Structure 1
Amino acid sequence: MKIVVIGGTGLIGSKLVNKLRQLGHEVTPASPASGVNTITGEGLTDVMKGTDVVVDLANSPSFEDKAVLEFFETSGRNLFAAETRAGVKHHVALSIVGTERLDNGYFRAKLAQERLIKQSGIPYSIVHSTQFFEFLGTIAAAGTVGDEIHLSTGAFQPIASDDVAAAVADVTVGAPLNGIIEIAGPERGRLVDFVKRYLAKKGDPHKVVADVHATYFGSELNDQSIVPGENPRLGKIDFETWFSSQLQKA
């Protein structure tokens, strides 16, 4: 198959491109650097020629409410226009577990993206992923208040980016789901505890405070907010294995 990966040079995209090429597919990583811009429409018509599957991993450069919504709506409309002209048979998108439950700007924008996908008329698959292990440091930074880090006690089930790429690869080469699949890591706990483990291993001296009212990028969490429902696809890489792999790469 010919597969175009929008955002194919990013964290998940680069791993996905390698996996799909190993499976023998013709894969084009597309990004503004390669002359493909989903916001302006530049390069979309050419890159879509003869394409069977499009995987959308693009992300907004700004997380400001209005900007992120405009990004996903504009990008989606331009993508679907080009895909429709080219006769693309399957659109795959990576989204987030909990888009329909959390009321913050980024989640609202992802939900708008999902609505466009469902309305496009193109067979589709949406992969809802939990947060990546790779962003534990970002979560800690966002919760920093002076010399302390205040973090939610809500349930959390992070996943390694390698497991995300593997799941997206499987969905990409399969038949369109015309629905949503959820993926998550193999361990569930409290958000505060995962980040505390991460910071302890990094030797970070900050005091970590468990705070039921601490927000997660603007939203308070409960034990259902950002964890999957029944029967998600679980990754194979647990926290200890993932952290050890990061040390080996350093």
Structure 2
Amino acid sequence: MDISVAGATGTLGAEIVRVAAARGHGVRSLSRATGVDVRDGRGLENAVRGSDAVIDALSLPSQSEAKAVAFFEQTSERLLEAERRAGVGHHLVISIVGIDRAPYGYYAGKVAQELAVEAGGVPWTIQRATQFHDFARQMFQGFAMGPVHPVITAPVQPVAISELASRVVDLVERGPSGRATDFAGPREEELGAMMRAWAQHIGARVWMPRVLLPGSYGAALRDGSALPDTSAELGRITFEDWLSQQPPG
């Protein structure tokens, strides 16, 4: 198959590219480095022409609801328009478990993205997944205030990027599936404990007071809205497994 990947230089996108290439698929990266701008549509139609499928693995480093909604609506519309013109037969997007139960901040952008895909006129697959194991590192770094690293209290069920990437390529090979079964990690974890484990793993000696993430998103995260239900399919790699494979320090 010939597969185009938006967000191919990101953590998940790069792993999707690796898995797809290892299976013998042709892979195209949709990025500015290859002369393609997903936000304004420059070069998109020519870039996806001849592709059997387009995978949208784009992300945005912002929790602003307005920015997230604008970004995901714009990029989805540009991708889908190019795919319709080029005759692409499958659009697959990676989304997040629980966004309809917690449509706030970044999650509001993912809700808008899903709606655009469903109405976009290209046969589609939406794969929702839980946060990655790397979420602990991101939160540890993102909430740092000098020597203080607040610990966020919340239940999560993180999944391995490698397992999600394999599942995404499986779905591309299968063809348009609509809303796929949610995918999550093998067990529930406590985000604060994950953050402390990450700090210990890298040898960080910092003050880590426990705090509550503010706002509606924080409340939804604490009440389990981002957890999968019993219908979700589960990966096998635990956070402990993943952490043991990360370089220390």
| Structure 1 segment 155-234 matched on structure 2, within 5 A | 155-211=155-211, 213-215=212-214, 218-220=217-219, 221-234=221-234
CA contact (8 A) 1:125 1:179 kept: yes
Deviation per residue, 1:196-233 (Å, 9 max, x gap): 2222222222343444x334895222342211111322
Where does structure 2 lack aligned partners over 5 or more consecutive residues? none
2:11 matched residue in structure 1? 11
1:105 matched residue in structure 2? 105
Q: Which moved more, 1:137-146 or 1:37-46?
A: 137-146
Counterpart AA for 1:58: L
2:22 matched residue in structure 1? 22
Structure 2 distance, partners of 1:63, 1:143, is 12
Where does structure 1 lack aligned partners over 5 or more consecutive residues? none
| Structure 1 segment 78-157 matched on structure 2, within 5 A | 78-144=78-144, 148-157=148-157
| Structure 1 segment 13-92 matched on structure 2, within 5 A | 13-60=13-60, 62-92=62-92
Instruction: Report the TM-score when normalising by structure 1.
Output: 0.89
Structure 1 residue 169: deviation in Å? 1.4
Structure 1 residue 70: deviation in Å? 1.4
More strand by share: 1
SS at match of 1:92: strand
Structure 1 residue 151: deviation in Å? 3.4
Percent of aligned pairs with the same amino acid: 32
Instruction: Report the TM-score when normalising by structure 2.
Output: 0.89
Instruction: Report the RMSD for the aligned CA atoms in angstroms.
Output: 2.3
Aligned residues: 248
Structure 1 distance, partners of 2:181, 2:85, is 27
Structure 1 residue 63: deviation in Å? 4.2
Deviation per residue, 1:72-112 (Å, 9 max, x gap): 11111111111111221111101111211224221111100
Structure 2 distance, partners of 1:144, 1:29, is 33
Deviation per residue, 1:99-154 (Å, 9 max, x gap): 11224221111100000011112221111121112231221234446755443433
Counterpart AA for 2:17: V
Moved over 6 A (4+): none
Alpha-carbon distance change, 82 to 20 in structure 1, aligned in 2, over 3 angstroms: same
Alpha-carbon distance change, 236 to 4 in structure 1, aligned in 2, over 3 angstroms: same
Alpha-carbon distance change, 145 to 13 in structure 1, aligned in 2, over 3 angstroms: closer
Alpha-carbon distance change, 125 to 47 in structure 1, aligned in 2, over 3 angstroms: same
